Structures are given as structure tokens and as C-alpha cells.
């Protein structure tokens, strides 16, 4: 079941990326909207839900909000220094960290893997192949200075992936309600932190309230669906790395969208990707799903 939610998340991620590419907002303004607009969107539903969750749930959600804010701020800094393509080619390595760290947190899973060593080998090979394909199709050499600076950020990415699964253990079996509250808490924390950072960088409040800017960010309303879907996927997967790595299928949906646009005479400005990397990505994902599906 986990893969159904992961595939849906990849489609949401593709739509989000396509809309973001056509958005003319500055990064500082955009990340404030990404917090507050999402929080305001789920608030009318959240007020009718009793938050009957264990207290660690709220702590983890708040820590996730802080982690996401720190990650966004520092990723944008690295974008300006090394370029988005270079940074994005390194970021998939966080999935491998997630896979290993979850085995440390849940060593019982390692014993389960050892019961069928061939299944374990196939899982590791599939995840590594997907990460390799995503890193290679960007055609960017690894900048080791950038890699060194990204190590803390890769750990934060893994923290977010792991807590997507861990937080649901404190939901007291109220899965969709807990996931909705997680969206509310994380987005609110992200909004307030980035609002403070925006003021510090000289962005005026009136800029954030301009009607045209708010309407330009309408697509952030995809974020609640994406966040809830990845929550469900991580919850049902035996290792949250499965969910995180399948989301990289978003590149396939983006390419498909480009082909449709080309058919109607409106091609988008996306880089061409060698077919061998797409084939590797699709094949490894399909095998991973078959081997781990429950």
C-alpha cells in the first residue's frame, strides 16, 4: 500500500515543480507563503478535529517545521553559490542516509532483512540505482566543497524523512487527523520563521500582502496533499527511504508533461534527459515496489 501514496506524492511533486517554474515570486516571499497559505488552508478542517495525540507528536511536528525552515534557508544559499543543478544532484544522497539511519533506529528490521538476504540485496541495489540515476541525469559533476557543506543538510533531509514515519507512531491510530495536524503545525512554524527571516532581509510586510503575489502562489495548496500522502506512505512502508526514493519519479511526470506540451506546440524549457537514466529509474522503482509491496 505504501507505494500507492508514494506514487501519488511524486505526481504532486511534479505538479508543484511545474507551477513553481512559472512562478515569478522571489524565494524569500515564496517560502513565507508556503508556510502561511498551507496552514490557513487546513485550519478550517483542523478546528473540528480533537488533537488526541501523544505529546511527542507535537514536539516532532514543531522540530520538523524548524528543520524545514533551516533546510530551505541554507539550500537557497547554496543555490546562489553553486547553482541549483549542482545542489540538486547531491541531495538524493539523503535517501541512503535515511535507509541506514532507520536500521539503526529500528534494528529489528535489520534482522528481518537478514532472514532473506537476497531480498535485502535487491532493495539496496534498487535504492542505490534510483539515487545514482537521479544524480547522473542532471549531468553535473560532484563539487566536493559543496558536498562537504551539504552533509548537515543531508542529515536534516534524513531527519525529515524519518520523522515522517516516526510521528505517526504517536497518532493513537488517528492517521489522517494526525497527518492534517502535522501539516498545520509544520506549515505554521515554517511560516513564522521565514517571516522573521524575510523581515531581517529587508522584505516589507506590504510586499507579502500584495494581491498579485498571493494569487501567484496558489499552487502551494498542493503542499497539504503532498505532505499527507508522504506521511501515509512512510507510515505503511517498512523503511521510510522507500517512500522518499519513489518520489523521484516526479521527473518522469515532468517529462511526460513536456511531451504533451510539445504535442500541442507549447514545449517547456526542460533539459533533455538521456533515456538510459529514465529506464534505470523506472526499472529500479518497479522492482523495489514488487519486492517491498505488502
pLDDT tens across 202-241, in order? 777 776 777 666 666 677 888 889 999 999 999 999 999 9
State how many domains the chain has.
Answer: 1
Is the model's pLDDT at 181 over the cut of 70? yes
Query: End-to-end CA distance of the chain, in Å?
Result: 6
pLDDT of residue 216: 64
Nearest of 247, 252, 257 to residue 273 by alpha carbon: 252
Residue whose C-alpha is closest to residue 285's, from 257, 252, 254: 252
CB atoms inside a 10 Å sphere around CB 114 = 10
- pTM greater than 0.75: yes
Helix spans in 83-174 (H): 84-90, 93-105, 107-115, 117-137, 144-166
pLDDT in tens, 143-162: 677 788 889 999 999 999 99
pLDDT for 123 equals 96
Give the model's pLDDT for residue 189: 94
Query: How many other CB atoms are found less than 10 A from the CB of residue 268?
Result: 15
What pLDDT score does 14 carry?
86
Phi, psi of 203 (to 5 degrees): -75, 130
**Can you give the residue range of the structural domain that contains 148?**
2-292
Amino acid at each position: 500500500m505504501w507505494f500507492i501514496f508514494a506514487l501519488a506524492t511524486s505526481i504532486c511533486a511534479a505538479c508543484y515543480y511545474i507551477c513553481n517554474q512559472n512562478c515569478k515570486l522571489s524565494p524569500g516571499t515564496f517560502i513565507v507563503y508556503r508556510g502561511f497559505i498551507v496552514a490557513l488552508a487546513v485550519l478550517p478542517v483542523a478546528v473540528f478535529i480533537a488533537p488526541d495525540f501523544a505529546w511527542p507528536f507535537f514536539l516532532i511536528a514543531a522540530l520538523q517545521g524548524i528543520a524545514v525552515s533551516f533546510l530551505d534557508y541554507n539550500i537557497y544559499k547554496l543555490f546562489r553559490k553553486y547553482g541549483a543543478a549542482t545542489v540538486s544532484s547531491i541531495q538524493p544522497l539523503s535517501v541512503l542516509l535515511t535507509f541506514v539511519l532507520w536500521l539503526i533506529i529500528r534494528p529489528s528490521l535489520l534482522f528481518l532483512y537478514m532472514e532473506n538476504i537476497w531480498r535485502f540485496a535487491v532493495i539496496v541495489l534498487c535504492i542505490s540505482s534510483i539515487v545514482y540515476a537521479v544524480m547522473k541525469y542532471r549531468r553535473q559533476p560532484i563539487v566536493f566543497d559543496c558536498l562537504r557543506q551539504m552533509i548537515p543538510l543531508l542529515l536534516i533531509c534524513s531527519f525529515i524523512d524519518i520523522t515522517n514515519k516516526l510521528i505517526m507512531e504517536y497518532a493513537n491510530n488517528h492517521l489522517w487527523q494526525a497527518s492534517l495536524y502535522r501539516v498545520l503545525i509544520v506549515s505554521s512554524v515554517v511560516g513564522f520563521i521565514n517571516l522573521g527571516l524575510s523581515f531581517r532581509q529587508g522584505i516589507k510586510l506590504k510586499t507579502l500582502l500584495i494581491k498579485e503575489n498571493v494569487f501567484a502562489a496558489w499552487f502551494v495548496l498542493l503542499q497539504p496533499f503532498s505532505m499527507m500522502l508522504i506521511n501515509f506512505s512512510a507510515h505503511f512502508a517498512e523503511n521510510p527511504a522507500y517512500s522518499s526514493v519513489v518520489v523521484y519519479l516526479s521527473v518522469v511526470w515532468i517529462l511526460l508533461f513536456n511531451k504533451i506540451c510539445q504535442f500541442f506546440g507549447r514545449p517547456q524549457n526542460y533539459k533533455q534527459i538521456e533515456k538510459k537514466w529514465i529506464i534505470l529509474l523506472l526499472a529500479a522503482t518497479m522492482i523495489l515496489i514488487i519486492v517491498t509491496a505488502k
